[in-house]
Amino acid sequence: MKRATSTPDTKRFFYRGFQSNLRREWLDKFGGVKLFRDNFRVRPYGETKDVAFDWLSLGNRKATNPAGIAKEDGGWRVEPENVAGAVKISRLTNVNFEDKSSREGLQENKTFQILKRVLTAIINLFENDRATIAREMAAYDDVKFGPERDKKTAEKLAKKILANSRDKKIRAGKKDANGDQSPPPTEEETQLDQEKEILAGEIERQEEEIEKLKEEQKILRGLASSGIVLASFSHDLSKLNDVLSSRVDKLKKLLLERIAEDEYAGIEDRRNPFAQLEKFKKQDAKMQNWLNFSLGAARKDKRKRKRLFLKTYFSDIKNDWSTVFEYRGINLDISDIQEIDLRVFEIDFDSIFNNLFINSIDAFNISTFDRGRLITVKTITTPKEIVIDYYDNGPGLSADIEKPEIIFEAMFTTKRNEHTGEEIGTGLGMWLVKSIVDENDGTTKLLFPENGFGLRISFPIKYKR
């Protein structure tokens, strides 16, 4: 019986929980192997705090073979403090046992020695049984959790190596208390230290990369869930989309059968049903535009790599955004798009430019400059790459951003609630832009026009057909 367990051992060997303080009290009171003859206790065998407590010499067995319970070769031995048991004999059937003259205990004769060997062998059966199960559990634990433990050990070792390396550099050249300067390390020691430091540094960098990938995975799971939900409702939304284009005209036609539109001439719009219908029609057009945009983003053909003609693509995306841009007074200039094509995923391009458009709209909303709102997209081709330049004439990057490249990091945002100052942006837009460009072997470079924001996206020529 265990007196206490550690958390790692409890998980590894599936120990049942118990209150260690109560278990210790019980073992201190009832532990040890007690001997009874004709139901009367024979002292001092198994007596707590007595030399005869360990009369079977279990402690010596443990000392000569201190193997762990899960050792592959076996040999685990129980400690005397973890055993509780009783042995019952009788004067009538065990006549070869002789009492000591003090009437305490039995004579250490051959019969008594055989009894001890028999009891030790019985205990050994329990030990082997327990150790066999423990080895199987340990093997299972090593398969399931061993790599994770090794990883944590490697991380600790890497940190230790780097810390020792820093300490050596600090101590180098310093004199000890006697004024003696420590001898410089040999070339072999220096090389070994350098190799250790390189390995430790690489482990640390790998760990940072893994943490970034885990964070990206969480973000992508959220985005994927949104896409799945949108796709699952696409059929119902497409039906709603069809209705939006005609429902106001049908209602107006029914009204005109009863009343003439001229009857409301000169009446204010809020009391004019025909004026309200026109307002509804504009709102439906906005809704229809957003539905077309959302449903188009989830189209299956956009998730296949294909030839994408940039002139046609930007013309289509301008139409998709036309209602939004018109409502916000934004002009999208795509007049400088060349007749070139790339073999890419269309959905990737959608993610890039939809996020850029959203950022520009948010920038225009907080802008205090009195000038026409303009977004410009142009293309440039070189012998090695295809370049797409994106500009808006908004307020540009916030002056609070000391390192502009930080905008490409996940979860970074400057969008805040104007009343509370709380962050309200997702911090994913520019991270997605850079991630998608990087995934396609491209590069992103911030441009700094005189007014507004600029970004250059370059793809290697291999993507051109």
3-state secondary structure of 303: helix
Instruction: Kindly give, in sequence order, each residue whose CB lies less than 8 Å from that of residue 178, ignoring residues fewer than 6 positions away.
Output: none
Instruction: Kindly give, in sequence order, each residue whose CB lies less than 8 Å from that of residue 91, ignoring residues fewer than 6 positions away.
Output: 37, 38, 97
Instruction: Output the pLDDT for position 81.
Output: 93
Instruction: Output the pLDDT for position 116.
Output: 94
Instruction: Output the pLDDT for position 182.
Output: 60
* Distance from the Cα of residue 90 to its chain's centroid: 67
3-state secondary structure of 351: helix
For 398-401, the CB contacts below 8 A with 24+ separation are none
> Strands 453-460 and 385-392: what pairing?
antiparallel
**In Å, how far are 45, 365, 385, 394 from 360, measured between CA atoms?**
88, 9, 26, 7
**In Å, how far are 25, 159, 209, 216, 454 from 213, measured between CA atoms?**
50, 21, 6, 5, 28
Distance CA 123, CA 78 (A): 8
Quickly list H helices, 172-272: 187-232, 234-244, 247-256
Instruction: Output the pLDDT for position 374.
Output: 95
Q: Where are the domains of the chain?
A: 7-152, 233-293, 302-465
The domain 302-465: what is its CATH number? 3.30.565.10
Instruction: Output the pLDDT for position 228.
Output: 57
**In Å, how far are 19, 64, 91, 97 from 114, measured between CA atoms?**
37, 21, 17, 11
| Single-letter amino acid code for the residue at 91 | R
pLDDT, one tens digit for every residue, the chain (465 residues): 989 888 888 888 888 888 999 999 999 999 999 999 999 999 999 998 888 999 999 999 999 989 889 988 888 999 999 999 999 999 888 889 888 877 788 998 999 999 999 999 999 999 999 999 999 999 999 888 888 888 788 778 877 877 777 777 666 656 555 655 566 666 766 676 777 777 777 777 777 777 777 776 766 666 666 665 555 555 666 677 677 778 888 998 999 998 998 888 888 888 888 888 888 888 787 777 666 666 655 555 555 667 889 999 999 899 888 888 988 899 999 999 998 988 888 888 888 998 899 989 988 988 878 889 999 999 999 888 999 999 999 998 877 788 888 888 876 776 665 655 565 555 678 888 998 899 888 999 999 888 899 999 999 986 555
